[in-house]
Chains A and B, each alone.
Chain A
Amino acid sequence: MKSPLRQWIRASLGLVVALLGATRAEAHVIASGMGSFYDGIGHFFLSPDDVLAVLALILLAGMRGSAASTRLLFTLPVAWAGAGVIGLLTTAPALSGQIPSACSILLLGLLVASDLPLATWIVMALALIAGGLHGYFNGQAMREAGVNPALIQLAGVGFTLFVLVLHLTDWIQKARRPWMRIVLRVMGSWLGAAGLLLLGWSLRTRGG
């Protein structure tokens, strides 16, 4: 069996090398040429604000146990896709989702870091709000980009969320060693800090 320390060192080296190469940003709504469903999957993974909010929700639900995890499995994709449809159908001018995204990452990150014993319904309410917000802005972005058929893309996003929640919450619940919970809380604090910085950044950008 491989030594855990060696695995950590190897993974950390990979992390540093890979991260130093990450320098540029690309489009939010993508067209991969593989079809709308896969475009939806790509759309999600190319949106770090969405990914980090979902990661924070998964950490939160995973740390709160199997009941919260199981409910998140259905609540999050449904809230996301439902709000996405509203975003697609609404005729209101597109709004910037950066500040709501920053607030959701900040709040969810802090909740993970603090490891508060939240009731399952609170976690579900947070999933509905955060998933709804991000889904709505996804729908708006797809409408603005003229994505067709956007519903299939939204289905791709929903499928991605379902698979991520299924696997990651299961993995978190298997992580029963005390130091693993500390790692999860540290991840939460980093997410919260990044959310707060993003909020400041967004306010400064908006203020000119």
Chain B
Amino acid sequence: MKTSPRYPSWPAWPAAVALWLATGPAAHAHIGAGEAGGFASGFKHPWSGLDHIAAMVAVGLWGAQLGMPAIWLLPVTFPLIMAVGGFMGLVGIPLPGVEIGIGASALLLGLMVAAEVKPKKLIWPALLVGVFGLFHGHAHGTELPPGENGLLYSMGFVIATGTLHACGIGIGEVRRWTAGRTVLRVCGGVIALVGVYFLWEAAHPEAPEASSPPAAMEMPTPKK
């Protein structure tokens, strides 16, 4: 078989891209104080909440359980629809029940993994994952810090999401063993419990006194 020693192997290219991003490439000049901190800031964002992590890992786990082509189709669907949600959040299009949707995503996706649900048509898992991606994206979109350069932030954000899916797919590879399948189902159960917790939190928001200490610490103005 003919081989080509002239070109770097596959893993060399992600490393080259990483080097390019790490050495401070900047889309545009004019980055000011308080604006997005670039790739690292975007990369950290999806890791900032357990509800997001649980749902995204569950997508990977479910994809692994479903096998080809869901194993890559679901993780492709999620970031794309999540970006639609992010777009909506960024331009100010409201989406009701975002927090409930995020909690429900962890619960339902966890249950799918725990029950090892395998729909006959791939459209159903893709639809479910897509709908939940919309909620996650919207939450991130409304939270994104303002800035003139969103590209590095967006790339970091999307790659982090993909990394979480890849973690799920990696863990999901234990499905090859009988005991591994049980472990996967237990993981799904744990994710569903996390979803229940966040659903409960979304349905019972904390009292204002507890959630905003600075307001609680305000001293009343003495009446004269």
Contact = CB atoms under 8 A, between A and B. Distances in A.
A and B held together in a complex: yes
B28 A193 contact: no
A174 to B, nearest CB: 6
A15 B18 contact: yes
B7 interface: yes
B43 to A, nearest CB: 6
Nearest to A15: B18
Contact of A192 (B10, B15, B80): B80
A190 B159 contact: yes
Contacts of A207: 91
A22 B141 CA distance: 21
Interface size class of chain B, counting residues whose CB lies under 8 Å from the partner chain: 35 or more
B4 A197 contact: no
Contacts of A51: 20, 25
B40 A46 contact: no
Contacts of B13: 171
B80 A198 contact: no
A28 B28 contact: yes
Given A7-B9, A14-B15, A171-B7, A19 B150 contact: no
Given A202-B150, A205-B147, A25 B18 contact: no
Nearest to B82: A193
Nearest to B152: A48
Interface in B28-68: 28-29, 31, 37-41, 43-44
Contacts of A189: 76, 79-80
Nearest to A197: B154
Nearest to A21: B22
A52 interface: yes
Contact of A15 (B9, B15, B146): B15
A174 B75 CA distance: 25
Interface string A71-95: 0000000000000000000000000
Nearest to B35: A25
Contacts of B15: 11, 14-15, 18
B46 to A, nearest CB: 12
B13 to A, nearest CB: 8
24 contacts: A15-B18, A22-B23, A22-B40, A24-B31, A26-B24, A29-B29, A46-B26, A47-B25, A47-B26, A48-B27, A52-B155, A167-B7, A174-B4, A180-B10, A183-B10, A190-B79, A190-B162, A197-B83, A197-B87, A200-B86, A200-B141, A201-B153, A201-B154, A203-B91
The 7 closest A-B pairs by CB, nearest first: A201-B150, A25-B26, A200-B90, A11-B11, A193-B83, A18-B22, A197-B154
